[in-house]
Structure 1
């Protein structure tokens, strides 16, 4: 009964404070507490032993001068020996712990036996952790060091993926034509008089395609060779060329374009794209059109870049025939070894590159930075000359 009455008085007092009829509540420091702050934020946890509500427990506890007692340098190292020391860990070689407390991967032969790859000693610290320090999951975390490890791991992964991709391209280049056509082979048992043997019969037609002899059932249409499965003439000569998928093996029409579309869909599927010619033919055709447009744009852009850099050889004026034959009025004297004695001054070689030219808002010139056998800009570590 008393607690219910007390709660009712507290609710009435809060309503009066919100209406401005009563003074605001004060915290431990004598400052007014904002009426709009929720109760779960103003009330301190029980383990802080706070006498009155406030926001003192919500402030940055790292700014507390006593907080340094509960902060430690996570993963700090002190000294790295070059040879194994007596009493050190037999696995990694560190002197600050023993074999049972070693957190490194167990080696096949420990540092005690090999004397190589000695791990550095850890920094031993004595500190007292308060309530917050025991529950701080980021205690000892250094953002700069951690981000450096992330960059190194990313560079190593990028290098590994690049090498793997180059190796895959080299393997694909080594595949000969017979390997590329393995999808059209059918293994089948062939019976012979000697007791039978297994032979390979090449299937020249994909099962999803319509057979050539079914395109026109007229007896007088194009000849079909069942042995080689070839039809060199057009089975439908009177049909609109834009509506035909096949116009004979000797013709180059929409059939060739359709084969190229199939080939492009297979290549895209092998490279990891979610593309299937039979499941989504419209998507495959649209992607193939976009591929041809992007290929032409890339070819044109590359041509323009090369012409801007080296000039257009086709636009150069016609050189006179006197210069083509190497004739001139200058007298040059040579010795028996073919060296020039007089008649031609030795020309000092000039660099073909412009000096002290800052392009694309760079503050350093190209070639002012070197890493991993590549030149670049010192200001931004960019290795691309065009950017």
Structure 2
């Protein structure tokens, strides 16, 4: 991209300019300011901060990088499907000869062709459709979900619910048949609820997979560097569970990393902790065995800095043994310090009578001091 012509600079001026850019990148000099008074990031390349020649820019600016062709007339609304605006009572001139509506011609009529059209019978006049025109922006033209009605998905949910109900009835019938067969053969029938549930689970595995909606067995192929396939692996998430990035749709909420599928912060920080089932990936780092492993690593680092030859990756068993010994010695030291303090000052929680010297801070013992503030025995 050709940029605006820059005045000729001598070698010394060019050297000073390069030193100034290095100082700005290091934070030793203030950043450059554009036409609007906003600071320009010194790490932005010159070919981006320099405006094209046809904009006649006299100084570096980022205005040409922003969306400067914005039309306020653009909209993201959609057509009101099936809306009617006027219902005529008799045929009107220039209307559709088949149905009598004014908003289309006879060739474009979507109704069933009548034996005698509305032009000759003047009966059953169709209402006029609502015709709208929108000037959509770039995103609106390419939005594949623009105008989608979420209520239209209700029939899909009903179909899956009916599918589940039919599968439960099928399993129930199979269980009843098995009980009847056992009764006829005089076999003892186990009435324990757990056994019945196990039997249901066994029968469920015999059902054809094409007839059951088992989302836990969704599988995908894993490609290798050689171009082949390693087979299948189970999906990472049950499909009924809500995805992490759908818990909070606010753009300023917790960041979701698409590459690693991780959301470190809590997407719902104001929610009741008792009702929350996901508090961010960082919650796993400060709970359970992850916290113990973190403390083990910190102990190894501190021990290595103090001169101990210990390494978590090279000798993990030795590092874990040293950490266990450290915790045991620490508990022993704490108990010794506690016993020493209790012997010296007593234990108020145990209900022991405190000495009068500690209770009132004075005693009847006479102490004499010399001129050097030493006690005379």
TM-score, L = length of structure 1: 0.31
Return the structure number with greater relative CO, CA threshold 8 A, min gap 6.
Answer: 2
